[in-house]
């Protein structure tokens, strides 16, 4: 679970809704503070995450001339869900991402974090012409492996039989056993509000796919699209060695974020923004 470093929007950003394949999605939109010559970017969060996971990279990306749209995926936080499990299939969520790209009027730099990386990969395979580039952030080639998969399995088992508030309480009790310092009360309250706002059907379907997703790197390698693989040096979801191997298979650029774990954009935003901007600048 990513924890944003702050919650107040920078001056260049605002809350918004953007059209998707089905309905609309909640978003944070940052407008370029200078000439918009860098091309638009779409940022897709991971499982139990939200658009706020990218809040600290909005300003540096906008200052470099990019319009930036960070979304809540369907059923996440402030984007409504519809309770239909098939609506949360990776293929269908990817259609939402492509629709957002079309809404921006030109090919986008697409960044997907964790589960959002799997969705971004599917969008790239479905309609590569909608993208300028693809960044897979803290995302592996296939299903998330053990030991990280064990927590997903617990959530998958709990969701059909427990209400989401009870799952939150059980989740926090487990996390409290290993966290060195608990979040401040205001951060804890915000994380709680975000978690219980998720559609439980969406959480279950996303968890199922994180546990079963197949390796599609051979397909992606055939797509003529620049790819960046970026991850924290201490990622505890997909092992860094697995992500490095993925980059080699894709002949992708790779950037390791020192001092970061599974959520580089939240944990080391300056370094993460610099990695994205360096990659995108080479494509102008």
List per-residue pLDDT tens for the chain, 284 residues long. 799 999 999 999 999 999 999 899 999 999 997 666 789 999 999 999 999 999 999 999 999 999 999 999 999 999 999 889 999 999 999 999 999 999 999 999 999 999 999 999 999 999 999 999 999 999 999 999 999 999 899 999 999 999 999 999 998 988 888 888 888 999 999 999 999 999 999 999 999 999 999 999 999 999 999 999 999 999 999 999 999 999 999 999 999 999 999 999 999 999 999 999 999 999 98
Tally of structural domains, the chain: 1
The verdict on residue 132 lying in a domain is: yes
Provide CB contacts within 8 A for 69, sequence distance 6+.
Answer: 16, 18, 27, 28, 29, 30, 40, 41, 42, 43, 100, 104
Domain annotation covers residue 142: yes
Residue 6 resides in a domain: no
| Residue 4 is assigned to a structural domain of this protein | no
> How confident is the model at residue 22, as a pLDDT?
87
Residue 3 in any domain: the answer is no
Q: What is the CATH number of the domain that holds 66?
A: 3.40.50.1820
| Alpha-helical segments (H) within the chain | 55-63, 90-103, 115-126, 148-158, 164-176, 185-197, 200-212, 217-221, 240-250, 264-267, 269-281
Task: Look up the domain containing 209 and give its range.
Answer: 13-281
Q: What does each C-alpha distance from 78 to 73, 81, 116, 210 come to in angstroms? A: 9, 9, 16, 22
Task: Write down the pLDDT at residue 83.
Answer: 85
181: in domain: yes
Across-strand partners of 195? Answer: none
Residue 237 lies in a domain: yes
pLDDT the model gives residue 90: 98
Q: Is residue 91 part of a domain?
A: yes
- Predicted local confidence at residue 93, as pLDDT: 98
146 exposure class (CB count in 10 Å sphere: 0-12, 13-18, 19+): exposed
């Amino acid at each position: 679970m990513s924890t944003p470093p702050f919650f107040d929007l920078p001056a260049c950003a605002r809350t918004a809704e953007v059209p998707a394949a089905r309905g609309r999605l909640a978003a944070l939109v940052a407008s370029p503070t200078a000439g918009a010559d860098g091309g638009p970017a779409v940022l897709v969060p991971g499982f139990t995450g939200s658009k706020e996971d990218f809040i600290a990279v909005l300003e540096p990306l906008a200052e470099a001339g990019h319009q930036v749209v960070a979304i809540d995926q369907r059923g996440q936080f402030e984007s409504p869900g519809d309770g239909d499990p098939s609506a949360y299939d990776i293929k269908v969520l990817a259609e939402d991402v492509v629709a957002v790209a079309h809404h921006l009027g030109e090919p986008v730099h697409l960044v997907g974090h964790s589960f959002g990386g799997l969705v971004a990969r599917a969008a790239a395979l479905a309609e590569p012409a909608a993208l300028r580039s693809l960044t897979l952030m803290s995302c592996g080639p296939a299903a998330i492996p053990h030991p990280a998969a064990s927590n997903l399995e617990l959530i998958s088992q709990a969701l059909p039989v427990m209400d989401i508030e009870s799952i939150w309480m059980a989740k926090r009790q487990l996390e409290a056993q290993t966290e060195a310092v608990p979040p401040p009360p205001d951060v804890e309250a915000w994380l709680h509000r975000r978690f219980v706002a998720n559609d439980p059907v969406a959480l279950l379907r996303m968890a199922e796919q994180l546990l079963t997703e197949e390796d599609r790197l051979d397909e992606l390698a055939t797509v003529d699209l620049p790819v960046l693989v970026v991850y924290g040096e201490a990622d505890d979801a997909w092992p860094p060695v697995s992500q490095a191997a993925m980059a080699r298979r894709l002949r992708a650029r790779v950037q390791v974020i020192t001092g970061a774990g599974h959520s580089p954009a939240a944990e080391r935003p300056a370094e993460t923004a610099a990695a994205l901007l360096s990659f995108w600048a080479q494509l102008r």
